[in-house]
Structure 1
């Protein structure tokens, strides 16, 4: 059951996330997880469209990590507001156990690197024993399997998972939106899985949920609705070996995009909290996008959180922090900051660098 894993950042395999996935040096203690939520990474002319297998094998090959968890998330709640390609993939593939397994098997070319993630279909389709069925289909191909259990389904899923997990596997407890603290329901679950030592255990939770909106941010103030307490709680409260989150960005509902609303959440690695920044209306035709350059970037660079990270003995804002370098380049007018998508990359790069730094300086260690 020995593992070097400390941290599992979770990505949705979208454009800005893929840029980070294929450029960041994760090292031996960070295994990213990819949630594949659509068949293709982007639209191409039909005659040039790559297959699911071609797209994702290449992506995984290019990730600088020892291992990569791959999930086709069963937990998604379908809704009419979802992007068409996400809804279609959910209905055709992830809601069908056999088709989902077929898609994972298409990635066998990277079997030494991939840890396929299995979830029970009981609460999705009403089928029983689906964990074992999936394991039987995958075990001979992939050396390790990840089991994802949503906390609301723990009691139903635990018996299935604990019966088939081996010492080469990983169990992921997904807290969803439940606060990462030892409430009575969580204590009952921890009491059950604390006695399970067959394989490493990971606790997953997004610090920034879909309810956190740019338009509601208070400029230069702590975002109290963004709770990164799991970083401190995954061991003492959950007796877990590792933790996972969505790498400093919001776990959104995969719906179609709305209007541009300039905003940015800066991770303060010293205080383990997020500080919000928002635009003020700007000027001219691109008044909303110009707020990124004219308001948000200078105020982030001059914030108390930035100063605290500069003064920290840990190099949170070193030259290896790609996100911080992009902010400085925008402020120096060396590159454009008029892109909401770019700030998603900045948030990812900065957060990942800070967590990697904590690991490198033994603030987070292998159990």
Structure 2
């Protein structure tokens, strides 16, 4: 199976809206991370199968790498915590009959890089997935990489997928030279697709730290341009939004990261802390006159979920003070842009 981009999203409301707004090209294969059992009282898997019915292939995972904190969203904790303790829980969840019947989903074998490597837990995923799926993906982290690859090496089949997840570390760091070589050589040995995944936006990024209509210097989206130089078949990212740790609560902090294809960079915009109305009163006027907004064609603005939503807010046709919705606008714009130009 050929593809060259793996948009990676949590399966929750705003990323879902962004995803559904774009008819992904054939060379895009999404990876969805489940973060709850239900969505607004409805069954997550039932919704997911309906939302992805048009795709030819979809990777599915549960983010075992996420730390469980006091502030972790209760729904995320309910799903993920038992799976971190017992990988069979994750395997059984991803082997739901409704997923297996569709013959399009590819389960991801993954692990928590923040604890000692647990080969007995990982093998539970591999053995269970192989009973129900004819194609698997393996998600490696730099930590415990050799242990994981040694174990995966005994189970890889042609047309599987091998992912190196760098979190937000730069692919150019010298310490990853050996890791790149290991992944690429193993992929060639078994004729499988190699993917390098990283978040372009640092976790330390805050909306209050953004400068209006200025490029966010700490964001690094260079993987889009140079992944093949490291020998990979494809790359993945978190569709132009920060890979958050799924914590609940916090203050209202209006802000927006607007992706520029010409610069391959993110421009920042911020409102007034704890003032939700500044999404509409401050952010929207700034964005309407921004460098990225002037960059994109009228056709893009009509078809882009993010741009179209902001324009409708500007015209008073749509409410614009929901903080989660703005994350969806950023993701929708990024996805639409890559779908047009990549």
Question: TM (normalized to structure 1)?
Answer: 0.85
Residue 324 of structure 2 is aligned to residue 357 of structure 1: no
1:188-207 alignment, distance < 5 Å: 188-196=178-186, 197=188, 198=190, 199-207=192-200
* Pair 20,336 (structure 1): closer, same or farther in 2 beyond 3 Å: same
Tell me the CA shift for residue 111 of structure 1: 4.3
CA contact (8 A) 1:22 1:59 kept: no
The structure 2 residue matched to 1:300, chosen from 276, 287, 296, is 287
Change (3 A) 1:123 1:156: farther
Deviation at 1:114, TM superposition (A): 0.6
- Does 1:264 pair with 2:264? no
Could you say if the C-alpha distance between residues 192 and 222 of structure 1 is closer, same or farther in structure 2, counting changes exceeding 3 Å?
A: same
1:123, distance to aligned residue in structure 2 (A): 6.1
Tell me the distance in 2 between the aligned counterparts of 1:121 and 1:220.
38
On the 8 A contact 1:72/1:94 being kept in 2, the answer is: no
Asked if residue 89 in structure 1 is aligned to residue 79 in structure 2, the reply is: yes
Number of matched pairs: 337
Question: Is 1:27 matched with 2:31?
Answer: no
CA contact (8 A) 1:13 1:41 kept: no
Looking at structure 1, the residues matched to 157 and 206 of structure 2 have their Cα atoms a distance apart, in angstroms, of 41
Q: Are the aligned partners of 1:269 and 1:316 in contact in 2 as well (CA < 8 Å)?
A: no
Aligned twin of 2:330: 347
- Judging changes above 3 Å, is the alpha-carbon distance between structure 1 residues 114 and 17 closer, same or farther for their aligned structure 2 residues? same
Secondary structure of the residue aligned to 2:7 is strand
CA distance in 1, matches of 2:209, 2:320: 21
Which residue of the partner structure matches residue 56 of structure 1? 45
- For residue 175 of structure 1, what is the aligned residue in structure 2? 166
Give the conservation status (yes or no) of the 8 Å contact 2:254–2:275.
Answer: yes
Determine helix, strand or coil for the equivalent of 1:163. Answer: coil
Aligned to 2:321: 338
Are 1:251 and 2:243 counterparts?
yes
Deviation at 1:72, TM superposition (A): 1.2
Q: Give 1:276 shift.
A: 0.4
Per the alignment, in what secondary structure is the counterpart of residue 90 of structure 2?
helix
Residues 333 and 179 of structure 1, relative CA distance in 2, 3 Å threshold: same
Aligned to 2:305: 322
Partner of 1:47: none
Q: CA deviation at 1:126?
A: 4.8
Q: Quick check: 1:214–1:264 contact (8 Å CA) kept in 2?
A: yes
Pick 1 or 2: higher relative contact order, CA cutoff 8 A, min separation 6. Answer: 2
Asked whether 1:37 is paired with 2:29, we answer no
Paired position in structure 2 for 1:364 = none
**Two-structure CA RMSD over aligned residues (Å):** 2.1
The Cα offsets for residues 43-77 of structure 1, whole Å up to 9 and x where unpaired, read as x3xxxxx5xxx431431332242211110122122
Aligned residues of 1:172 and 1:203 also touching (Cα < 8 A): yes
Unaligned runs of 5+ in 2: none
